[in-house]
Structure 1
Amino acid sequence: MIQTDYGTFDGTSWERLCQKAFKLKFGSLYQRMPASPGDYGIEGWTIDGMAFQCYCPEKNYTQDELRSAIQSKITRDVSKLKLYQTQIASRIGNTKIQKWLLVTPVFEHNNLHEHARKKEIEAREWELSILHDDFTILIQDAGYYATEFEQCRRSEGLPLQLGPVVTAEDVLPQAPEEFEELIDRKNRVRLRDKAGLTSFETELQKFNTLTATKFLKCDEHLATIERTSPQAFQQIIRVIGHYAEEMQELQVAWVGEPNGLVEEVKTELGRRLEEDLKGTMGFSDARRLADLMVSRWLAVCQLDFTE
């Protein structure tokens, strides 16, 4: 799964969305090439000479890894045009492929254009009956189909996602080495009304242990969700990330008791998780995740209050 400005995708969901977009954009000119018995290097074509192949990375690659993966995809699938020219010809009829387009969520390396030029020259030299004399290889990212993607989302009743991608790394920063000290400092503020009791230090240590345990459980809980339901995980990260930004302003403006702030954050985050993940997460699960997340924020200093 990879995250983009247009959603979270794997190979199957990306191709499914692209197929819908091609049909919207090109109408009856577009014909899908089902994968059975094989796609032969194209997943669809238009009768005026465009052929399409979709590619979605398996994960969030580095720039060089992504360049290498896309380059390999172009090399491998363009060679199928020669290997399966007879099968392709019997399906596209008199159409000659003038533009072969690789449609991928994102690419950031302009060396791919250089590779495309080399491969299209090589393909022209094959002199295949299915290829136009000016055969060209083009690379398109998700932005070329932004309008169609939005139409698809609206037709499916899905919410519009605005703004930059929210990544797990942004939402779940590494805990500092002194996280136990941070928890202790903040919990002393939360329990300050009990500071005069002889049992204060004992109760504080229990409170600290409970907070630290929830903090550690938080990452384990999110890892389980990511493993069992990657799409739900990405939606959860988005909700948490957006609320974390708002929370920074809330804690500066807060004038009540520290525990009041903690409860306000738990309640509001739980409400948003339940609302945004209707049908996936109920009230109890949303409240539990919010409780764990607040303990994490206390440990990594995203949630703080003045003493």
Structure 2
Amino acid sequence: MFKTKIGEFDGNSWEAFCQQCFRLKYETEGYQYMPAINGDYGIEGFTRTGLVFQCYCPDNNTDANTLYEAQRDKITKDLSKLELYEKPLSVYLAGCAIKTWIFVTPEYRKKELVKHCRTKADEHKKLNLSILDPDFDVLIHDLDNFTKEVPVVLNYLNRGIDISPDEIDDNQHLLWKNTSISLVDNANRKNKMLLNTNAINPEQKIDLLTTLTIKNK
């Protein structure tokens, strides 16, 4: 299992989580889920605006170099499927050219992965595949690309945030505060009542009080 700031995932649970995020974030762009039965053709969903998505979650938490190598190899392998399955993909895409292939992973730690994506995008543009837009690009998205969708999906999946308050940073405290966790809701409500309404930067002070409340629970 791979530990993230919102809990632990394996490949299946990460894809299930991502699919819900995609449906929310790209609903107005006609998001379409692609079941992986008999192969995923290198994409696990796409929009009618030319975005396609491939999810990947490492088996466990590793050092930056090992993580980079696993993610790099996964990107290379799945992008190769665009050429291999060009014909069947064209049927599903129905004339919609792929503008951006997005690799969705919990986190990445080395900027070299961005460079690898750029290299692979250039390589694939030279293949002149019928399903690719002339300006085809390859991007990486991680959890922080779905900050608005995460609380909604966690609530929908009835999944608690499985992390220790002593181990989370300021951004993660904010995520706790904005999700529908009763502890945080109660702390926010009580701290707003305690704080002087004429205080300077009241929201900042409420956030600080809530953080301290969480840590002391």
What TM-score, normalized by structure 2, do the two folds share?
A: 0.73
Counterpart residue number, 1:77: 78
Which structure shows the higher helix fraction? 1
Matches within 5 A, 1:1-307: 1-27=1-27, 29-160=30-161, 166=167
| Count of residue pairs brought into register by the alignment | 167
Amino acid at match of 1:116: C
Distance 1:145 1:83, change over 3 A: same
Point out 4+ residue stretches in structure 1 off by more than 6 angstroms. Answer: 162-165
Contact kept? 1:50, 1:100, Cα under 8 Å: yes
Name the SS for the 1:139 alignment partner: strand
- In the aligned structure 1, how far is the partner of 2:166 from the partner of 2:40? 32
CA gap of 1:56–1:158, structure 2 versus 1, over 3 A, is: closer
Distance in 1 between the 2:166 and 2:96 partners? 40
Task: Note if contact 1:5-1:164 (Cα within 8 Å) is conserved in structure 2.
Answer: no
Identity %: 40
Q: 1:140 to 1:114 in 2, by over 3 A?
A: same
Q: Compared with structure 1, are the counterparts of its residues 164 and 90 closer, same or farther at alpha carbon in structure 2 (3 Å cutoff)?
A: farther
| Cα 1:93/1:70, change in 2 over 3 Å | same
- The alpha carbon displacement at 1:156 in A equals 3.4
Which amino acid in 2 is paired with 1:143? D
Alignment partners' CA distance in 1, 2:101 and 2:18: 15
* Contact preservation (8 Å) 2:8, 2:162: no
Higher relative contact order structure (alpha carbons within 8 Å, sequence separation ≥ 6): 2
Find the residue that maps to 1:151 and give its secondary structure.
helix
Which amino acid is the alignment partner of residue 125 of structure 1?
K
Larger Rg computed on CA atoms = 1
Q: Is the 8 A contact 1:41 1:81 kept in 2?
A: yes
RMSD of Structure 2 on Structure 1 (CA): 1.8
Give me the whole-angstrom Cα distance separating, in 2, the residues matched to 1:3 and 1:122. 33
**Structure 2: runs of 5 or more not aligned:** 169-217
- State the alpha-carbon separation in 1 of the partners of residues 126 and 151 from structure 2: 40
What TM-score does the superposition give when structure 1 sets the normalisation length? 0.52
